[in-house]
A and B are shown apart, each in its own frame.
Chain A
């Protein structure tokens, strides 16, 4: 069975480490099979439309969890049944991922499974370029995204 997969890099490349998501999406985009759609999305609400009813959406994003900068984390949101528990304060992206996932579920448009791959950032000031620790973590996060996709496709 063909799996419909979307990889989205969330973030703003002009806010330093907030550009981690787009950097991971670019890394993955050069290495994914042609049936995987990889794109940069700055506003999470634009996921609605892009991820409607796909089998797997892998979202790459910068995190601010208090972990060591550059730490790569994977959060499997499944079908978003528990997305509420991930809803934080409003993010720099306006409407956060958890809210957008809840909205997509309410509208019957949610992906079957959503996986978030995050890189802990340390500098979100205006500027271009990732901090060294985050730059180094991009291939690790990108490979993790590819692994999630491979596993999903091989299990289908």
Chain B
């Protein structure tokens, strides 16, 4: 943090954005009482994975891309599987699709429990981290951990292990869990759902800055379910696209002082992906218990306050436990556990909802099934323009704060997005400077 001149011109730096997955830096420049510049410096690997995938077999894409992020490997695996299956013109069975959705619920449970209780909630208590929060509200932190463990358990049972599932393959799974293995998830998931309901009530009681932003919401939409692992792409201004459509419409541009690509949809406008978008576009498809929790927490049909995204995330946590329970109770082991996907020449697209937003992949395969080109567009890249716009608004509305408090609020504005900088990049270091 620097404090160059205590006038209405300054630069606020936040070096090392804490509690964001990965690292980076944030710099806000204020001149004569106006925020002139917001830079979110993100040091993205220069598309290492896209290059690394070239020449690899089509069956390798899920395992390789799973390593891009330790928090959302299932999202990468799923989008990769969908895209490869699309390129090879192969459809999976309903049973395989439902098992994939169950695995994805495990990842949502794990990731949302982590962000809500360990990374985001400390902001609302003025705590530096979850350790300090545990001193104030040990039960809440313990509850978060218990929920996260159930997410891990689902990933272990379906995916083979909690961190990077090894049971996923193009076309389905290497092995279908037995009915007994899946049935054993019922009790833990019920406990997790109860705990998640308590967490909705907990976060609904936080104090939130009064800010409303007219976002352009973009998320998957599925005709039958709250979209997670499949669907078409919808937006609050009426877009209806398949994965190919969004892949063609989204342009990514390099921006000075950032290695990450900034995505624009349709050539000009910023757009938001993630829980606020999913909720705005699909909240009617939440299960009754999740809808009731949302209503009790004071959420309307749409939530435009980015700081309240923690409530939406908690509602989605309830939903993912509840949906996992539904899938567990209806489970029929897919037999065979995977459909055969011969590698053929073609181009395929796949999109799914990572916990922090829309993730889409595109692969071009040659006649031997080798990957000739890959494109991976993670949610944090898509949200970068919204993050910078939110930062500008939040900084402008709070210029009366001292540098340290303003920097803290700016950090929170970034964390609202649950950015997975590891997906979009690796290092994050936050700067506010009054010039």
In the complex, which of the residues B16, B134, B152, B164 contacts A103, with contact meaning CB atoms closer than 8 Å?
B134
A94 touching B22, Cβ below 8 Å: yes
- Segment from B137-145, B192-200, B300-308 that makes contact with A: B137-145
- Segment from A12-20, A111-119, A135-143 that makes contact with B: A12-20
CB of A41 closer than 8 Å to a CB of B:
yes
**Complex CA distance for A48 and B45, rounded to whole angstroms:** 29
Q: Which B residues, 384 to 433, have Cβ-Cβ distances below 8 Å to chain A? A: 422, 426-427
B residues less than 8 Å from A127 (CB atoms): 48
A42-B163, A90-B23, A126-B45 known; A107 vs B145 contact (CB < 8 Å): yes
CB of B330 closer than 8 Å to a CB of A:
no
B residues less than 8 Å from A99 (CB atoms): 129-131
B residues less than 8 Å from A128 (CB atoms): 52
A residues less than 8 Å from B318 (CB atoms): none
B85-123 interface mask toward A, CB cutoff 8 Å, 1 = contact, 0 = none?
000000000000000000000000000001000100000
User: Using a Cβ cutoff of 8 Å, how many contacts connect chains A and B?
Assistant: 71
* CB of A21, distance to nearest CB on chain B (Å): 13
CB of B162 closer than 8 Å to a CB of A:
yes
In the complex, which of the residues B16, B21, B131, B163 contacts A102, with contact meaning CB atoms closer than 8 Å?
B131
**Complex CA distance for A15 and B427, rounded to whole angstroms:** 12
- Measured CB to CB, the nearest residue on chain B to A92 is B426
B residues less than 8 Å from A41 (CB atoms): 163
CB of A37 closer than 8 Å to a CB of B:
no
CB of B18 closer than 8 Å to a CB of A:
yes
CB of B209 closer than 8 Å to a CB of A:
no
A46 touching B427, Cβ below 8 Å: no
A89-113 interface mask toward B, CB cutoff 8 Å, 1 = contact, 0 = none?
1101011000100110011000000
Q: Given A94-B19, A107-B145, A126-B46, list of 5 further CB < 8 A pairs?
A: A92-B427, A94-B70, A95-B130, A103-B141, A126-B49
Nearest 9 A/B pairs, CB to CB: A126-B48, A42-B70, A126-B45, A106-B134, A102-B131, A103-B131, A43-B70, A89-B16, A94-B21
